[in-house]
Structure 1
Amino acid sequence: MLSQGFVSAAAIAASVLFILSLGGLSNQEKAKRAVWYGIAGMAVAVLFTALGPGIGAHWLMLPLIAIGAAIGWVVAKRVAMTEMPQLVAALHSFVGLAAVFVAWNADLERRRVLAARALDATHQEFSAFAALVATKAPDELTFLQLEVIFAIFIGAVTFTGSVIAFGKLAGKVDGKARQLPGGHLLNAGAAVVCLVLAIAYLNGAGFWTLLALAALAFFIGYHLIMGIGGADMPVVVSMLNSYSGWAAAAIGFTLSNDLLIVTGALVGSSGAILSYIMCKAMNRNFVSVILGGFGGSQGPAAEIEGEQVAIDAGGVASALNDADSVIIVPGYGMAVAQAQNAVSELTRKLRSAGKEVRFGIHPVAGRLPGHMNVLLAEAKVPYDIVLEMDEINDDFATTDVVIVIGSNDIVNPAAQEDPNSPIAGMPVLKVWEAKQVFVCKRGQGTGYSGIENPLFFKENTRMFYGDAKASIESLLPQID
């Protein structure tokens, strides 16, 4: 058994590793090393926490850790890059549910200590946590109760919200914004009742108040995320990431665990900052995101005129051979089709022919920031030709050919032209300004938001139907 001082030193070391991990993820070239920092930090955290003072039942703990690690390994190996957003949402749900269970247990232990004090049972054996509670003064116990309330509320909202986010991202739940009659008033009413229950709990009400509080928070999480449309789910995942961090921090205060406090604060603050950045990128109000008050349509959508005109591989290849400048806009469809290597080879051939080739990346392409950048980096696409939306958006008007591969909502002109569109105001890549646009798409279906894209009907747009990987590979032999 290690001393508390040694465990505290290990917690500081783990915290430094976590900070290095977050810092390294800002650069593609350093990202792999940053992930290893995170892995090492978590290994240190788990090992030294398990060996810390007052921790027992290792015969039960070690098999559970091994089972959990094995499950995590298997799941991670099976999950494709395209499924990473829903995996992240699922992992957030685990953090939220764990916070609820730990908070419930903390209150039960608090009640046990108070009962023992009432009976003057000074020789009663306590768990490590109960022994900690037994040293607290009355005012400190009040703070403990506040921590329990916060952990249960945030944890429960995170759990059900993350489950619904997972369902929407995985296509198991309808991506459209749906709410029960009463809409946000139901959420507000449930929140008010939660406040009443919290006050009752602080004034000595029974454990049932915490059960009811959790039930209402479960509902709020479910109803908040159900009321958010599919096009805004990337921001939701980031927001839930922040929630899970604050839930973990609350549990850290409850357990007097410095590492949980630091780690939870890191996750909570970084998730909140990322949510804010994504809200700016999508022209969404940050407060509205937190309250689940966005994502639905705002009126009847504008009528779309024209028809979708198809083109074959020969036509696309001919246009590419004649072009001097090409911009490729990848999206979720490219990831699903695993077409990044074919795209990389097409890029190499076009550049070898003396053409300027660049990539335009939307901040939330692929449903999570950096998704497309990672795929393209794995396929050996040079970093210097992969540009963010703000860096390349003004160049579409002087570009000969744009190839859109599996993108829909992030190139939808309705965001700028239709104030009633569910994505109205969202910054998009202005691909329609190019001389020619070729959209590589599997079929005529709508995008993730469930709305039609006027781009597909414009005169300078041609639809290159088929599997993205097969379609791009069919172009390669025809590029001079």
Structure 2
Amino acid sequence: MSFWEFTVDASYFIAAVLFIIGLKRMGSPKTAKSGIKWAGIGMALATVVTLWHPAMEAGFFRYVLMILAIVIGGAGAWYTGKKVEMTAMPQMVALYNGMGGGAAAAIALVEMYSGSAFDHGTTVLTLAVIGALIGGVSFSGSLIAWAKLEGKMKKTIRLPGQQLINGSVAAITVILGIAIIASDGSAPVLVTLFFLLSLAFGVLLTNPIGGADMPVVISMYNAFTGLAVAFEGFVLGNAAMIIAGTVVGAAGTLLTLLMANGMNRSISNVLFAGFGVDDGAEADGPEGEMKSVEAFDAAASFAYSDSLIIVPGYGLAVAQAQHKLWEFVQMLEKEHDVDVKFAIHPVAGRMPGHMNVLLAEAGVPYDKIFDLEEINAEFPNADAALVIGANDVVNPAARTDESSPIYGMPILDVDKAREVYVVKRGKGTGFSGVQNALFFGDNTRMVFGDAKQVCTDLANGLKQL
């Protein structure tokens, strides 16, 4: 082994360690920021070392193209990362994840078009084909997920015989993949048809899925992208790609299962049941009348409470109300000695950790933020609960109504608090399209209005007491 080969392998090992450390630290809101930095350093090291990999033998012009691509991509990512709103973070994750899957598929296509994948034997060629398939599905599927979350696709379309169409396209794609593997040399026509069908399958698979399930779908495609990258790492003989892809694939798979369990759904149910396909349309539900109050009345109730549990949701992010909410909470704690805690559901918002990041952005201490398992037992003893922008994750129908589509889904037991106040813009359903029985409860009062304005009014109400 030459000095350069040893240096590259050692650098890849260090990069892999940094990836794992970074991913581990991303598992907690307290250390997530440093985890991103550690993983970023590992990626920078792997990228720089790859440019000097002895096996590349690239000419000057190719180096210029690679560096130019890195500069353009890096600058674009830096700009969009700085400008993106918290409400659009899930869309950005879906878009960037799709780019990763597309890049992995592109690597496989280049290797197959050039014939290099065929020269390395059946095993490597098989991995290239699988990587191209998974990467293509992840690319097109992630773009559909982005379009749904961004509001570019406001209507979910389910074709007649949808599952039969999906199965047929999948079967034909697999057959073409086998034909490519069985061919003696370069098969450009087969490769082209194979890739186009993999893109079509990603679209067909994702399009019928309702918006309520998009966070799970995004996480699943993240796992797909990781696996595609790992497979292409074997094709290129690149250890860094193998390790990074495997880590991302494993993390994405675990996160997907965690989110599915958080909704009491199986992955097959998410992919094929079409739950929430109306994306927030009005649905049948409990009968009765929502009882509304003004923000001042809610503020007075909170001021005379000993304990308050706040449940933030996507509506809080849309209104950018986290800073005003934290100002209100600080007034409650300092001037009225109220014990305030925040409760976070595993699938709150549009992606895991969405609410944690939102609250951290406002300066809420981590020790005030609790997961469902930690906080649920405290609701029966809480004097009051405040729900801001959350809907499906606090719907008691998940516990009591066996006919409800969300029956069995773990929820935050908000309805068990002595008093419940819900901040909501209107009387519509949640992202799943299921009406919320909590809003009609005897101990529930609705505070209608924009979350940011309501939080401002709550703070002003405390000043008048």
Name the TM-score, length of structure 1 as normaliser.
Answer: 0.89
Counting matched residue pairs gives 452
Unaligned runs of 5+ in 2: none
The partner residue of 2:129 within 126, 149, 161 is 149
2:458 maps to 475
Whether contact under 8 Å (2:142, 2:218) holds in the other structure is yes
| 1:227 Cα deviation after fit | 2.4
Matches of 1:211 and 1:391, distance apart in 2: 51
Number of the residue aligned with 1:103: 108
Displacement of 1:400: 1.9
| Matched residue, 1:458 | 441
CA displacement 1:211-263 (0-9 Å, x = unmatched): 22222222221122222222222211111110010011111111111111111
Moved over 3 A (4+): 286-289, 291-294, 300-303, 417-422
Corresponding residue SS for 2:445: strand
CA shift digits 1:395-416 (9 cap, x unpaired): 2222221111111111122323
1:170 matches 2:170: no
> Do the aligned partners of residues 394 and 301 (structure 1) sit closer, same or farther apart at CA in structure 2, a change above 3 Å counting?
farther
CA contact (8 A) 1:245 1:266 kept: yes
Alpha-carbon contact 2:284-2:434 (below 8 Å) kept? no
Q: Is structure 2 residue 256 aligned with structure 1 residue 251?
A: no
Establish whether residue 412 from structure 1 lines up as the match of residue 401 from structure 2. no
Correspondence 1:201-350 to 2 at 5 A: 201-204=180-183, 206-289=187-270, 291-293=271-273, 295=275, 303-350=285-332
Q: Which residue of 2 aligns with 1:115?
A: none
The one of 371, 385, 395 equivalent to 2:378 is 395
Task: Report the Cα offset of residue 41 of structure 1.
Answer: 0.9
Question: 2:407, 2:189 → 1: CA distance?
Answer: 45
Structure 2 distance, partners of 1:29, 1:450, is 34
Given that 2:285 and 2:437 are in contact with CA atoms closer than 8 Å, whether structure 1 keeps it comes out as no
Equivalent residue of 1:238, what SS? helix
Deviating more after overlay: 32-41 vs 212-221: 212-221
- C-alpha displacement of 1:391: 1.6
Taking a change above 3 Å as real, the CA distance of residues 397 and 197 of structure 1, as seen in their structure-2 partners, is same
Quote the offset at 1:29 in angstroms: 2.2
Instruction: Note the alpha carbon deviations across 1:59-114, whole angstroms, 9 max, x for none.
Output: 2222221111111111111111221111010011111211222111101221xxxx
Partner Cα separation in structure 1 for residue 277 and residue 114 of structure 2: 48
Contact 1:2–1:52 (CA<8 Å) still a contact in 2?
A: no
* Runs (5+) with no aligned partner, structure 1: 111-129
Secondary structure in 2 aligned to 1:366? coil
In structure 2, the residue matched to 1:22 is 23
Cα 1:191–1:258 shift into 2, 3 Å: same
Percent identity at matched positions? 42
Task: List aligned pairs for 1:5-154, cutoff 5 A.
Answer: 5-53=6-54, 54-56=57-59, 57-110=62-115, 130=116, 140-154=120-134
Offset from partner CA, 1:188-221 (integer Å, 9 cap, x none)? 2222112221222222283222222222222221
| In 2: Cα distance, 1:201 partner to 1:380 partner | 55
The residue that corresponds to 1:119 in the other structure is none
DSSP-derived class of the 1:439 partner: strand
Alignment of 1:422-433 (within 5 A): 422-433=405-416
Asked if 1 retains the 8 angstrom alpha-carbon contact of 2:283 and 2:429, the reply is no
Q: Distance in 2 between matches of 1:192 and 1:231?
A: 28
**For residues 164 and 475 of structure 1, what CA distance do their matches in structure 2 show?**
39
- The CA RMSD over aligned residues, in Å, is 2.2
> Cα distance 1:233–1:467, how it changes in 2: closer, same or farther (>3 A)?
same
Of residues 211-220 and 44-53 in structure 1, the stretch that sits farther from structure 2 once superposed is 211-220
What SS class does the counterpart of residue 340 from structure 2 fall into?
Answer: strand
What is the Cα deviation at residue 284 of structure 1? 1.3
